[in-house]
């Protein structure tokens, strides 16, 4: 199985504290700019683009690439985020081969991932689902399942990198909610969770690593153990409650190949509860198919799936290492088209922008009309690039803001989605 190095919130914070060169400072530069202009999603990206990169300086190059893919993900720009994500592995592109597994296709039947996950989750007190932080369509899948989780008895939604301790009291999430929550689909995930009735939990530790060991995985274990402690505290106060945990990458793994013991392992040890774990991060599209998993390649080539699926053999879900089920995603990056994933299984409606005579590199942002300007997270946004200029929005009243290539406001319009 191909294993590609992920980006994590912990890595960003670490980078801020030890970075030195401009490239290594990419995240700090971007965050400082956006802190001053929270609704200007182009300013930090433009600043990162201006950084001169020394390709021989691997650490700086890797940080810069991760910053680029992250800020393009905030813009829902899939072609660019995939380009910068995959460029990190350019050395592998020429050594890896595109591999098919026709036996896998023959031996498995496919079932709608949302149906399987929410049905199976009813049997568990705790479900843990992960995401790749640069792939917003993982949040689209979560959004499509939220109501069904609630109807299945889940009341707590624990979210990695949720920084706002007042989130359950506020009317809506804003810029202060957390770094990755600046991405529009993440903002919508929190809005819908509040609307449905979830109690949202922040479980990232406030404690810094005590650095008591030279083991390179010590601080990772330190953080994961405290994440588990914070989750267990919630259930100690409400022992019969059902909890949905949303985390990044390997935190939900129930095992490890090295000394990095994961949050899910600690959680099971501390609570005695065996969580239902679902991986979203491995069976996904890349710009270069050489980097894709053989199961993803085969299912998409021979089955032409249009929605995320679970592969079943008999009644048993196929899965990767250390999880109970693995979701296989369809191909989303289609040239000059916004993916229908943004419709959130039909819950959001397309709004055509052709009437506005937009120009390339302009940014269109849709904000809820009831949210106070200055600190808002867009419901959806689109960087114009000669494609099909469509936003996807829930029913409601919005303010559309059209901005130039520097993120400065050109015009504002009010629209209603019925």
The answer to the question of residue 1 being in a domain is no
Q: Give the range among 54-58, 69-73, 350-354, 374-378 with minimum mean pLDDT.
A: 54-58
The answer to the question of residue 295 being in a domain is yes
The average pLDDT across 303-315 equals 96
Domain match, 251 and 292 both: yes
> Which two structure tokens, joined as six digits, stand for 318?
């196929």
End of a domain among 58, 93, 128? Answer: 93
Angle between helices 218-237 and 263-271 in degrees, nearest 10: 40
Q: Find all residues with CB under 8 Å of 33, minimum gap 6, and list them.
A: 40, 43, 44, 47
Q: What is the CATH number of the domain that holds 180?
A: 3.40.50
Task: Determine the Cα–Cα distance for residues 243 and 125; give it in Å rounded to an integer.
Answer: 6
Q: Find all residues with CB under 8 Å of 2, minimum gap 6, and list them.
A: 92, 96, 291, 292, 293
pTM for the whole thing? 0.95
Q: Which uninterrupted H or E stretch holds 47?
A: helix 43-49
Residue 336 has pLDDT above 70, yes or no: no
End of a domain among 296, 328, 360? Answer: 328
Task: Determine the Cα–Cα distance for residues 5 and 255; give it in Å rounded to an integer.
Answer: 18
End of a domain among 271, 299, 328? Answer: 328
In this prediction, residue 16 carries a pLDDT of 61
Q: How confident is the model at residue 104 (pLDDT cuts 50, 70, 90)?
A: very high
Domain match, 192 and 270 both: yes
Domain match, 171 and 240 both: yes
The average pLDDT across 339-368 equals 92
Q: Give the range among 210-219, 222-231, 269-278 with minimum mean pLDDT.
A: 210-219
> Contact at 8 Å (CB) between 105 and 305?
no
The average pLDDT across 148-169 equals 97
Q: What confidence tens digit (pLDDT) does each residue in 1-22 have?
A: 465 556 555 556 555 656 689 9
In this prediction, residue 7 carries a pLDDT of 57
Core vs surface per residue 232-257: b (16+ CB within 10 A) or e: beebeeeeeebbbbbbbbbbbbbebe
Domain match, 82 and 183 both: no
Residue 49 has pLDDT above 90, yes or no: yes
Domain match, 107 and 88 both: no
The answer to the question of residue 164 being in a domain is yes
Q: Find all residues with CB under 8 Å of 415, minimum gap 6, and list them.
A: 351, 366, 397, 398, 400
> Which two structure tokens, joined as six digits, stand for 211?
């650095």
Task: Determine the Cα–Cα distance for residues 306 and 405; give it in Å rounded to an integer.
Answer: 33
Task: Determine the Cα–Cα distance for residues 223 and 203; give it in Å rounded to an integer.
Answer: 10
Domain match, 299 and 164 both: yes
What is the percent of the chain with per-residue pLDDT over 90, rounded to a whole number? 85
> Contact at 8 Å (CB) between 44 and 66?
no
> Contact at 8 Å (CB) between 181 and 377?
yes
> Contact at 8 Å (CB) between 418 and 395?
yes
Closest CA to 281 of 247, 305, 306, 255: 247
In this prediction, residue 1 carries a pLDDT of 47
Closest CA to 324 of 269, 279, 281: 279
Closest CA to 8 of 180, 136, 141, 137: 180
In this prediction, residue 2 carries a pLDDT of 61
Q: What is residue 8's three-state secondary structure? A: coil
Residue 381 has pLDDT above 60, yes or no: yes
Q: What confidence tens digit (pLDDT) does each residue in 111-138 have?
A: 999 999 999 999 999 999 999 999 999 9
The answer to the question of residue 379 being in a domain is yes
Task: Determine the Cα–Cα distance for residues 190 and 59; give it in Å rounded to an integer.
Answer: 33
Structural domain of 395: 348-417
The average pLDDT across 362-383 equals 97
The average pLDDT across 353-382 equals 96
Domain match, 269 and 379 both: no
Residue 337 has pLDDT above 50, yes or no: yes
Domain match, 139 and 273 both: yes
The answer to the question of residue 339 being in a domain is no
Closest CA to 380 of 396, 364, 397: 364
Q: What is the CATH number of the domain that holds 373?
A: 2.60.40
In this prediction, residue 148 carries a pLDDT of 98
Q: Find all residues with CB under 8 Å of 120, minimum gap 6, and list them.
A: 276, 317, 325
The answer to the question of residue 338 being in a domain is no
Domain match, 77 and 159 both: no
Q: What confidence tens digit (pLDDT) does each residue in 167-211 have?
A: 999 999 999 999 999 999 999 999 999 999 999 999 999 999 988
In this prediction, residue 108 carries a pLDDT of 98
Domain match, 205 and 322 both: yes
> Contact at 8 Å (CB) between 194 and 149?
no
Domain match, 22 and 141 both: no
Round the average pLDDT of the chain to a whole number and report it.
93
In this prediction, residue 370 carries a pLDDT of 97
The average pLDDT across 318-330 equals 97
Q: Give the range among 27-36, 183-192, 290-299, 333-342 with minimum mean pLDDT.
A: 333-342
Task: Determine the Cα–Cα distance for residues 389 and 127; give it in Å rounded to an integer.
Answer: 37
Domain match, 242 and 365 both: no
The answer to the question of residue 2 being in a domain is no
The answer to the question of residue 277 being in a domain is yes
Domain total in the chain: 3
Residue 159 has pLDDT above 70, yes or no: yes
């Amino acid at each position: 199985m191909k294993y590609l190095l992920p980006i994590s919130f912990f890595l960003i914070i670490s980078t801020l504290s030890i970075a030195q060169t401009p490239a290594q400072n990419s995240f700090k530069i971007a965050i400082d700019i956006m802190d001053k202009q929270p609704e200007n999603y182009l300013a930090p990206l433009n600043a990162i683009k201006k950084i001169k990169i020394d390709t021989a300086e691997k650490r700086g190059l890797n940080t810069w690439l991760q910053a680029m893919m992250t800020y393009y993900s905030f813009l829902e720009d899939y072609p660019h985020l995939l380009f910068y994500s995959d460029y990190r592995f350019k050395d592998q592109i020429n050594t890896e081969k595109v591999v098919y597994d026709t036996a896998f296709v023959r031996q498995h039947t496919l079932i709608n991932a949302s149906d399987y996950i929410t049905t199976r989750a009813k049997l568990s007190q705790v479900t843990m689902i992960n995401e790749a932080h640069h792939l917003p369509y993982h949040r689209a899948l979560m959004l499509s399942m939220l109501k069904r989780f609630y109807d299945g008895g889940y009341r707590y939604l624990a979210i990695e990198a949720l920084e706002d301790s007042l989130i359950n009291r506020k009317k809506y999430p804003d810029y202060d909610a957390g770094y990755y929550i600046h991405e529009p689909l993440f903002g919508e995930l929190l809005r819908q969770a509040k609307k449905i009735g979830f109690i949202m939990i922040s479980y990232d530790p406030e404690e810094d690593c005590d650095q008591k060991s030279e083991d390179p995985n010590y601080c990772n274990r330190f953080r994961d153990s405290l994440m588990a402690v914070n989750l267990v505290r919630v259930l100690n106060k409400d022992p019969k409650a059902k909890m949905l945990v949303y985390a990044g990458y390997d935190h939900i793994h129930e095992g490890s190949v090295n000394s990095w013991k994961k949050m899910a392992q600690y959680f099971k040890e501390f609570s005695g509860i065996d969580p239902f774990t679902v991986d979203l991060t491995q069976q996904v599209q890349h710009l270069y198919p050489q980097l894709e998993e053989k199961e993803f390649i085969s299912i998409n080539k021979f089955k032409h799936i249009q929605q995320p699926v679970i592969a079943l053999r008999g009644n048993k879900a196929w899965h990767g290492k250390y999880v109970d089920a693995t979701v296989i995603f369809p191909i989303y990056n289609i040239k000059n088209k916004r993916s229908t994933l943004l419709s959130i299984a039909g819950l959001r409606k397309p709004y055509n922008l052709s009437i506005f005579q937009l120009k390339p590199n302009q940014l269109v942002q849709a904000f809820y009309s009831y949210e106070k300007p200055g600190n808002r997270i867009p419901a959806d946004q689109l960087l114009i690039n000669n494609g099909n200029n469509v936003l996807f929005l829930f029913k409601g009243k919005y303010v559309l803001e059209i901005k130039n290539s520097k993120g400065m406001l050109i015009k504002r319009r009010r629209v209603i989605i019925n």
